[in-house]
């Protein structure tokens, strides 16, 4: 197949995402699926905003993946495993949007996320997706479960400003596209291109001023796929440290900011699950930068971290 045909998957994902999001906005209005800032000091938007954008990203991603399958670039089982796994993660995030924030212990949420991630990865291993943590599928799945929980929650922490979570994910995906091409990893390339197209379609509606949010379903979905990409490229930390560190750095700023947020909250003897406005983007915004400039600065920082991750991964040391 002509290699340029791979990049057909991106515009297909973009178009489907672009077309479905206006419909999702109408559905959100009808069923009152809003992120309402009333009484929440952590919210910076002033009016209720629909939060079904993550479903639009998924629809775009799924459309691109289906086309990739039609061109025989990914197996039917791999496509089905990714789509079903993504639906499980979307459901967990959507349930969080609806109920869990107010009624469920955060440790229970983490445990459910871990179980879902471990189960999904175990299925992916069984259907032929290669991960390199361990030769034992169950052990590899458990390790991958921690990756997925970490990435989902790290992306969720970045979803506090119009366009931010989607934009920093785009920078990560560009890094994974570079890695996919240099390593000849078709599976990771297809995931990256399809997700990239879906996010670009979403950002047209999510850039400041946003008319729709991705919601926890969207941030969980992005984190899940970034974790899958990271795991796909990761080597065993005892045998190949650069291939362990490099992919984590390609996720980049969300991971670093999440670690900093947890350390900050624990140092104040607060629960790490207790939200605050101490993230990097919050600090930039409170210094007087506009939301657009704040997002662009975060993307520049993300770009530098991603480039360092690629260079570490490809280094001959």
pLDDT 10s per residue in the chain (317 long)?
456 667 799 999 999 999 999 999 999 989 988 887 876 767 777 788 999 999 999 999 999 999 999 988 888 888 999 999 999 999 999 888 876 555 667 888 889 899 999 998 888 887 777 776 666 778 888 888 999 999 999 999 999 999 999 999 999 999 999 999 999 999 999 999 999 999 999 999 999 899 999 999 999 999 999 999 999 998 765 567 888 899 999 999 999 999 999 999 999 888 888 788 899 999 999 999 999 999 999 999 999 999 999 999 999 76
Q: CB-based burial of residue 148 (10 Å sphere; 0-12 exposed, 13-18 middle, 19+ buried)?
A: buried
* Cβ pair 39, 64 in contact under 8 A: no
C-alpha distances (whole Å) from 48 to each of 43, 90, 179, 298, 304 are 10, 21, 39, 25, 35
Return the structure tokens found at 158.
Answer: 């970045």
* Cβ pair 142, 117 in contact under 8 A: no
How many C-beta atoms surround the C-beta of residue 213 within 10 A? 26
Return the structure tokens found at 149.
Answer: 């929980």
Q: Show me where the domains of the chain are located.
A: 3-235
User: CA-CA distance, 242 to 237, in Å (whole number)?
Assistant: 8
Local structure of residue 272 (DSSP, 8 states): T
How many C-beta atoms surround the C-beta of residue 232 within 10 A? 22
62 CB-side CA count, 13 A: 17
């Amino acid at each position: 197949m002509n290699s340029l045909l791979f990049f057909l998957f991106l515009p297909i994902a973009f178009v489907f995402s672009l077309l479905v999001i206006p419909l999702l906005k109408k559905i959100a209005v009808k069923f009152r699926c809003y992120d309402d800032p009333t009484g929440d000091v952590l919210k910076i938007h002033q009016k209720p905003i629909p939060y079904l954008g993550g479903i639009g990203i998924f629809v775009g991603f799924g459309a691109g993946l289906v086309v990739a399958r039609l061109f025989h670039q990914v197996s039917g089982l791999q496509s089905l495993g990714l789509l079903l796994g993504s639906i499980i993660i979307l459901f967990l995030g959507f349930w969080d949007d609806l109920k869990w924030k107010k009624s469920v212990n955060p440790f229970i949420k983490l445990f459910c996320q871990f179980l879902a991630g471990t189960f999904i990865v175990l299925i992916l291993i069984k259907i032929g997706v290669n991960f390199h943590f361990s030769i034992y599928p169950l052990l590899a799945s458990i390790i991958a479960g921690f990756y997925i929980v970490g990435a989902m929650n790290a992306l969720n922490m970045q979803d506090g400003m119009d366009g931010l979570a989607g934009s920093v994910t785009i920078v990560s995906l560009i890094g994974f596209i570079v890695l996919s091409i240099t390593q000849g990893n078709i599976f990771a390339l297809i995931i990256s291109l399809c997700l990239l197209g879906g996010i670009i379609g979403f950002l047209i509606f999510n850039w400041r001023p946003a008319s729709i949010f991705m919601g926890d379903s969207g941030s969980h979905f992005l984190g899940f796929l970034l974790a899958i990409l990271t795991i796909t490229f990761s080597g065993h930390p005892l045998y190949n440290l650069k291939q362990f560190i490099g992919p984590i750095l390609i996720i980049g700023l969300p991971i670093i900011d999440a670690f900093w947020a947890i350390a900050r909250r624990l140092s104040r003897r607060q629960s790490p699950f207790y939200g605050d406005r101490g993230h990097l983007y919050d600090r930039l915004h409170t210094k007087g930068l506009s939301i657009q400039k704040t997002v662009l600065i975060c993307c520049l920082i993300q770009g530098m971290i991603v480039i360092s991750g690629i260079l570490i991964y490809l280094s001959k040391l």
